[in-house]
């Protein structure tokens, strides 16, 4: 194979590695072309591409992408599933296909900067998919929100109940009635005090008249002496 062609293939593999969220490496010995085509179709449903690769080219491409630990997984005929979506969903799809095609064997995986052996890679298929986990998390959040809402409603109901009990013990209308009654008492008191003031004025007026009469009684009465003098002269 010309070097230029190898370089091109290595570059294409490196782009796939760098664009994948995970790599699942499998041995496909014994699979027919039609079976591989069927496997590719099933993996496309979970946003994963499946390609048969040469080990040497894959090692170079992985090294170019900064992955140096794939050598142990690149022994014998190799095929790589380049996962674009959920690695768990892709592992489940390969495990399901392996039940139909026993010659399909998952050798290992690479994800989150770590190389997984065959046991760990097959363990991915036993995990819950991302969609299921998100659904469960959403359910838990919804349950917590419902619980919080119920607690808030209960607290509000308790508060209103306590407020109603307080209102029954200390009615809000009674103070208003007492305040309203105060002006009436004040008016009644003023009404009672007004005659007293008039009586005092009357007493004072009577005392003034009496004093005037007494003064008049004490003044000497002047008599007309002109007639008496004329009578005496006659």
For residue range 205-227, list pLDDT tens digits in order. Answer: 555 555 444 454 444 444 444 44
| 91-128 pLDDT, tens digit each | 999 999 999 998 899 999 999 889 999 999 999 888 86
CATH code, 100: 3.30.70.1730
Q: Is residue 136 part of a domain?
A: no
Least Cα distance to 55 among 19, 88, 28, 91 occurs for: 28
Q: List the domain range (segments joined by +) for residue 26.
A: 9-127
- Would residue 188 count as lying in a domain? no
pLDDT of residue 69: 83
Helices 3-19 and 55-64 sit at what angle, rounded to 10 degrees? Answer: 60
pLDDT at 154: 74
Residue 172, domain member (yes or no): no
Whether 88 maps to a domain, the answer reads: yes
DSSP 8-state secondary structure symbol assigned to residue 82: E
58: tokens are 């894959």
How many domains does the chain contain in total? 1
The first and second tokens of residue 193, run together, are 């005090």
What is the 3-class SS of 23-35, one letter each residue?
EEEEECCCCCHHH
Cα Rg for the chain, rounded, in angstroms? 57
Backbone angles phi, psi at 76, to 5 degrees: 80, 180
Q: Compute CA distances 50 → 9, 15, 44, 97, whole Å.
A: 15, 14, 8, 13
Whether residue 180 is contained in a domain is answered as no
Paired tokens of 115: 């190389």
Helix/strand/coil for 113: coil
Asked if residue 118 belongs to a domain, the reply is yes
- Calculate the alpha carbon distances from 60 to 64, 84, 146 in Å: 6, 21, 54
Is 106 part of any domain? yes
Find out whether 58 and 9 touch, Cβ atoms under 8 Å: no
CA distances from residue 155 to 74, 117, 159, 169, 173 in whole angstroms, order as listed? 63, 54, 6, 21, 27
pLDDT of res. 53:
93
pTM: 0.55
Instruction: Give residue 83's pLDDT.
Output: 95
Is 92 contained in some domain? yes
The residues of the chain scoring below 70 in pLDDT are 1-2, 128-144, 146, 152, 163, 166-234
> Nearest-CA neighbor of 73 among 9, 117, 18, 28?
117
- Residue 93's pLDDT is what? 92
Question: Which pLDDT score is estimated for 232?
Answer: 40
């Amino acid at each position: 194979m010309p070097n230029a062609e190898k370089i091109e293939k290595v570059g294409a593999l490196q782009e796939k590695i760098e664009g994948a969220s995970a790599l699942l490496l499998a041995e496909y010995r014994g699979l027919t072309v039609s079976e591989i085509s069927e496997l590719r179709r099933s993996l496309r449903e979970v946003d994963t591409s499946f390609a048969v690769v040469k080990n040497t080219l894959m090692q170079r491409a992985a090294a170019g992408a900064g992955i140096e630990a794939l050598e142990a997984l690149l022994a014998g005929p190799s095929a790589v599933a380049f996962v674009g979506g959920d690695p768990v969903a892709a592992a489940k799809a390969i495990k399901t296909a392996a039940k139909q095609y026993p010659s399909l064997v998952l050798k290992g995986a690479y994800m989150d900067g770590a190389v997984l052996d065959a046991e760990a890679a097959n363990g991915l298929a036993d995990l819950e998919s991302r969609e299921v986990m998100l659904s469960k998390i959403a359910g838990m959040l919804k349950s917590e929100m419902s619980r919080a809402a119920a607690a808030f409603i209960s607290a509000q109901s308790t508060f209103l109940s306590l407020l109603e009990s307080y209102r029954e013990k200390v009615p809000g209308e009674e103070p208003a009635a007492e305040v309203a009654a105060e002006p009436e008492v004040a008016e009644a008191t003023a009404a009672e005090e007004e005659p007293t003031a008039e009586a005092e004025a009357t007493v004072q007026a009577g005392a003034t008249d009496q004093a005037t009469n007494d003064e008049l009684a004490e003044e000497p009465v002047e008599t007309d002496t002109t007639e008496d003098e004329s009578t005496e002269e006659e």
